[in-house]
Amino acid sequence: MEKKNYITPQGHKALTDELHQLLRVERPEVCQLVQWAAANGDRSENADYQYGKKRLREIDRRVRFLSSRLDDAVVVDPSTVRSEKVQFGATVTVRDEEEREKTWSIVGIDEINTELGRVSWQSPLGRALIGKEIDDEAVIVTPQGQTTVDIMAIKYVALT
């Protein structure tokens, strides 16, 4: 049974842009390099040819991955969600046991960036927050142990 690939519009655009860059820019350039290198004779000792073929395989593998992710994508615009509970796309402010506040946005697995406060809805933090309301406690279980946080605020806004 397949899992849904929830993604924000911004994440979908990033994957689409990367796919476009690979197919329309990088792959044609590398194909041209390989063609030029092949015309230079002995391919067994031709570093340009060998590198080019290796890079083509890497590009093709990434193109297949991105195409698959985009085919399975379910785009959810956080700015259209109306809920009092934490759902996909929510930006949640929590307070931990030491009274430190942190804000996290619940995003798709292709959009994770902890430096920007973006965590996957499938991560331990994301799973602990989903379904909670303001003033609820969420218990986060990680390999380092268990932590409890209080939900302080829930917003649904487009990510930038």
Domain segments of the chain as ranges: 5-75, 78-155
Q: How far apart are CA 36 and CA 48, in angstroms?
A: 9
- What phi, psi does 86 have (nearest 5°)? -75, 125
Q: What would the CATH number be for the domain defined by 78-155? A: 3.10.50.30
Q: What percent of the chain has pLDDT over 70?
A: 99
pLDDT of 158: 86
N- to C-terminal Cα separation, the chain: 32
CATH architecture of the domain 5-75 equals Orthogonal Bundle (1.10)
pLDDT of 144: 84
Give me the torsion for CA of 129, 113, 77, 138, rounded to 10°: 0
pLDDT of 90: 96
Token pair listed for 132: 């909670």
pLDDT in tens, 75-95: 999 999 999 999 999 999 999
Q: In the chain, which residues have pLDDT < 50?
A: 1
Q: Are strands 137-142 and 145-155 parallel, antiparallel or unpaired?
A: antiparallel
pLDDT of 2: 56
The answer to whether 5-75 and 78-155 have equal CATH topology is: no
pLDDT of 1: 40
CA distances from 15 to 33, 55, 62, 109, 143 (A): 25, 19, 11, 12, 30
